[in-house]
Chain A
């Protein structure tokens, strides 16, 4: 293979796999927005929570990071459910502004609690396979990145089945489309909203677990990922789940190619510029004329 082309494919594959994780983070945010019209400013901090949970379990009981998925999933769900049910739902029908500020506050509380608990020092775990790679047709792929990509795929398929093949999914979609109508049909929208927030937080936590073998964990790591999640969801259209997947892959690809071909220093800027352009030119996202909801 032509070395230039090989480098291009290598960069792209790397970017798309990272993009898969961005998609996972973005989907949680988009799901929450689709049902509750709330932009969750604490999203990245829940991801950080997932990272530190994994780190903690690894350091104390030597639990394999991928096993902690089984713990992060229910815990994240419970936390999100609790937060929506007992905190955010109290805001009632007030401006979306209030819920934005409330989630901003929650995020600050989470990240600063992590700071108190674990210190500001970036930490990571040493698992034997963290740096393993395999080569396929001249393209090097990191195992941890591939696992993360596969995990994302499983999570997305699972969410899709939940939304389109179960009664709960029907209730969620109904609540997203028309809360009052759903309620008149006997859907308990309060429970549904709490469930959705739980799902969103669980997705963020899963992404955190999958990212830990790849990245250093530090308490404010969530800030970056909140922003990436915004970028992903806005690219795909807020509340549009398939859009979020494409948005995630797009962001991963753009970042990877941009930092390879232009300058690594501006890695975070490429996504933001794309984000601003989409906000300005197509606020409804890259796809579709109207904002499609869940």
Chain B
């Protein structure tokens, strides 16, 4: 008797790992060929990471947030405030914590991630009772209130923003060197890819997909939708704050008008959606494609750089709900959801 060979579908996870590895390889090769355009490189790679982090909530949990700039801002502000001795450390010293010396950026970033997770837990537990567009609306409102606080309060540097004069070296590397920053940014993307790979085939990941597709059905299977969404939000927040800290190092000086604006949140969300929420690496592809488009049309559109986002998101919603990566899979062409 011959055993019936069960034809396994060409394992998606296998292919996916290779795609991720390929993307990382391409990112690592970039400085070799475009060593002169490192500013563009660092910001593009950071945004790829932001889009990946956004997609954990937006793609896997299906909650479209237009407030991620707030989480990015929490990461950037916490790290920077702690790195400037006169600001964070002096205040901490006055309440009896620490010596008042500058706190190293890696600890600052970690603190930012913790704060972002706490924020996301409060934010999420309040707003996940709302569904669909309501969640999106409330995410805009929360981000805007945080922005107003950053602009109007003294401890955040007000509308002037913050400036980091110097940072300690990181294992002997100068953190303001673009090549070092590029390496850290790629590391950030690698982390987001790894986390997404893990989530995808984990119990949490399947639960998240179940919640996204049918909340009532998921509940019937014993999954707590609110808890699942909170987990996704917390992971997304931690990763976004991590990137936010790196972004602050890259910028060195920033102000709330550039860091906490709605267009930044929109940009992150649209990169992920245009790249393809269906696919694991879609957000990275979206970020790179949009950054390249933005650079190509920079002279033509100058400050109107979001025009291309508007056009592409319209094209994607009308003709390719699975985003760019969705065009390559049969499933993605039908559904705008990650699997």
Contact = CB atoms under 8 A, between A and B. Distances in A.
Contact of B304 (A94, A97, A112): A112
Main secondary structure of the interface of A (DSSP, over half): helix
A91 B303 CA distance: 30
Contacts of A220: 263
B310 interface: yes
A275 B321 contact: no
B307 A116 contact: yes
Interface stretch (B100-108, B128-136, B190-198): B128-136
A63 interface: no
Interface string A215-227: 0000010010001
A268 B137 contact: no
A90 interface: yes
Interface stretch (A1-9, A99-107, A165-173, A246-254): A99-107
Contact of B133 (A87, A100, A115): A100
B316 to A, nearest CB: 8
Q: How large is the interface on B (under 10, 10 to 19, 20 to 34, 35 or more residues)?
A: 35 or more
Interface in B158-210: none
B220 interface: no
B178 to A, nearest CB: 28
A262 to B, nearest CB: 12
A99 B142 CA distance: 23
Interface in A80-101: 87, 90-91, 94-101
Interface in B234-293: 262-263, 266, 270, 273
A99 B318 CA distance: 9
A279 B148 contact: no
A112 B310 contact: yes
Contact of B309 (A87, A102, A108, A266): A108
A279 B313 CA distance: 27
A74 interface: no
Contacts of A280: 126-127, 129-130
6 contacts: A91-B318, A101-B273, A105-B312, A109-B307, A112-B304, A112-B306
List the 4 closest pairs (A to B, CB-CB), nearest first. Answer: A108-B310, A112-B307, A105-B313, A109-B310
Given A106-B314, A279-B130, 19 more contacts: A87-B318, A97-B132, A98-B321, A100-B133, A102-B318, A104-B310, A106-B310, A107-B310, A112-B307, A113-B307, A116-B301, A220-B263, A230-B140, A269-B144, A269-B145, A272-B141, A272-B145, A276-B138, A279-B137
Interface of B: 64, 126-127, 129-130, 132-134, 136-138, 140-142, 144-145, 148, 151-152, 262-263, 266, 270, 273, 301, 303-307, 309-314, 316-318, 321, 336
